[in-house]
Structure 1
Amino acid sequence: MMGEHISQSDIIIHIHLSRLGIAFKYNTTTNIITSREYSDMCIGQDQWLGTLTGLTSSLLLSPLTAKDCTSEHYPYRKLIVPFGKILSTRDQHEIHQTVTIDRPSSMSFSHQYFVFILNDRLKILQSTDSPTGWLYLALLHAMTSHPLPDHYTGMTGMERAFQLLYSAGCWSDQPFDELSLNILGQIASISPKVNYYPEHLTC
């Protein structure tokens, strides 16, 4: 982190997330952390989405035009989620599973992250990167799914995941790149397997 003086009363602290290649500026007077990549947005004080419940590795950005970044509804909030291996753990004392993103330093695409837009009119998250972002969003919805519908989308995470996978956003007329194949592999690993019984029969 680095600091600079704007005036006698304002002190700006620069925050760099080097592994993702993104940065923020913290104003000690206003207590607002603004994004370098999205200069008209700040880190929202309320990080609850109403969906992707249990996800611990994400950052919600809200427009600076919203009063003190504390309003309940923003027209174009953005969610930053780093890429990695999605892991889910469940504690017997917790109501919902905890979903983490494993990002070892030796992993490929260590600087990769995705930006999702919260469409408050349609009550859905939308990707800015197709088809890779849509595939990753489907994986996140599936891993954070709960028997009850999400407050924001009105659907369970699994329902939204299937909806995304069947949508045009997840399809491409070009071969999938290595990142998309990695995400598809993670989706395959949590998908039900078909086993024939008796095992020597195939139909």
Structure 2
Amino acid sequence: MLPSGEYGKFVINKHLGRIESAPEPMLLYMEALLHAYTSSPFPDPLTRRAGTEEALQWLSSGICQPWSPLHGGPVQVLFQIA
């Protein structure tokens, strides 16, 4: 990924056991990518799932289903996940 000056904000919600962000496609797919990158055979203490399991769960959830055609950044993140 090349530096583009863009940034995203992720918040840890310990009560719900998840990481949260604004419902923007780039952030949603980046969250799944980060879960996949940091996967290990042991479950994460926050989510109680392995990274790959969390990424697959996140990508199959309704919030990750595009509500308009995807272009640019979100498509590149999905290619990295694939």
Which TM-score applies when normalising by structure 2? 0.90
Shift of 1:153: 1.2
Q: What is the alpha-carbon distance in structure 1 between the residues aligned to residue 43 and residue 67 of structure 2?
A: 33
* Partner amino acid, structure 2, of 1:150: D
Q: What is the alpha-carbon distance in structure 1 between the residues aligned to residue 70 and residue 53 of structure 2?
A: 24
Q: Match for 1:167 among 41, 61, 64?
A: 61
Equivalent in the alignment of 1:26: none
Count of matched residue positions in the alignment of Structure 1 and Structure 2: 82
Q: What is the alpha-carbon distance in structure 1 between the residues aligned to residue 8 and residue 64 of structure 2?
A: 15
Shift of 1:177: 2.1
- Structure 1 contact 130–169 (Cα < 8 Å) conserved: no
Structure 1 runs not aligned, ≥5 long: 1-83, 85-106, 189-203
- Structure 1 contact 132–170 (Cα < 8 Å) conserved: no
Q: Match for 2:9 among 115, 131, 136?
A: 115
Q: What is the alpha-carbon distance in structure 2 between the residues aligned to residue 139 and residue 181 of structure 1?
A: 12
Shift of 1:166: 0.5
Shift of 1:138: 0.3
- Structure having the higher helix fraction is 2
Q: What is the alpha-carbon distance in structure 1 between the residues aligned to residue 8 and residue 41 of structure 2?
A: 26
Q: Match for 2:42 among 115, 131, 148?
A: 148
Which TM-score applies when normalising by structure 1? 0.38
Matching of residues 44-193 of structure 1 within 5 Å:
84=1, 107=2, 110-188=4-82
Q: What is the alpha-carbon distance in structure 2 between the residues aligned to residue 170 and residue 131 of structure 1?
A: 7
* Partner amino acid, structure 2, of 1:184: L
- Structure having the higher strand fraction is 1
Q: Which aligned segments of 4 or more residues in structure 1 are displaced greater than 4 angstroms? A: none
Partner of 2:10, secondary structure, is: strand
**Root-mean-square deviation (Å):** 1.3
Q: What is the alpha-carbon distance in structure 2 between the residues aligned to residue 117 and residue 137 of structure 1?
A: 11
Structure 2 runs not aligned, ≥5 long: none
Partner of 2:9, secondary structure, is: strand
By relative contact order (CA 8 Å, sep 6+), the higher-ranking structure is 2
Larger Rg: 1
